[in-house]
Amino acid sequence: MILYLHGFRSSPLSMKSRLLAAQMQALGREAQWLCPQLPASPKLAIELALSLLKDVPAQELAKELTIIGSSLGGYYATWLAEQLGCRAVLLNPAIVPLIDLEQHVGVTTEFHSDQPFEFKREYIDELRAFAVEKITQPQRYFLIAATGDEVLDYRDMLAHYQGAQQCVIDGSDHGISDFAAYLAPVLAFCGIPTDAAR
């Protein structure tokens, strides 16, 4: 099972989530794909993620679930993986979003719909509750970090996920516009082999 958590201002319509959803469908595993629209509130985003998993027994979560998180979704995925004992794939994850998101307090729009939403100052405090100082089981993590990320510094990601499986992309960008090339290794880490990954 895969739970995909998109980034700030993003949605299930992001290129990465659509590529993954299409691949899961092609493999006949669409029932094992979850990709919710996350609310702006970090507290509500985490509650939504947990509610989607509430009927899955804890031992199954640890064995069967992988959370894929992009940018801010990577920050959430890390906290959830630590709580649930599952695997996580981090795509240019935010490490200290309190600093990065301070400038976005106020009303803004979603990238894929221009739908307005408000990022409130209190959400910065909510983010603090989900900080992970140090990951406990690096082998459960797979980091994909692009040196050309124009939003976040890939070196912070490498340091934070030290000991984890790491794929450093030379160049690319924050959205990992060449993500199609990394579908197979991502799904393989999730325990879902594709022909290309075998």
**Taking 80 as the threshold, does the pLDDT of residue 107 lie above it?**
no
Please state which of the ranges 7-11, 35-39, 139-143 shows the lowest mean pLDDT.
7-11
How far is 107 from 91, CA to CA, in rounded Å?
A: 26
Highest average pLDDT, of 56-60, 146-150, 192-196, comes from 146-150
Cα of first residue to Cα of last residue in the chain, in angstroms, is 19
Q: What is the per-residue pLDDT for 9?
A: 78
pLDDT tens by residue, 67-80? 999 999 999 999 99
Q: Could you tell me the pTM of the whole model?
A: 0.91
Please state which of the ranges 14-18, 32-36, 96-100, 121-125 shows the lowest mean pLDDT.
96-100
Phi-psi map region of 45: left, alpha, beta (phi>0 left; psi -120 to 50 alpha): alpha
Three-class secondary structure of residue 83 per DSSP: helix
Buried-state track 151-187, b at ≥16 Cβ within 10 A, e below 16: ebebeebeebbeebebeebeebebbbeebeebbbbbb
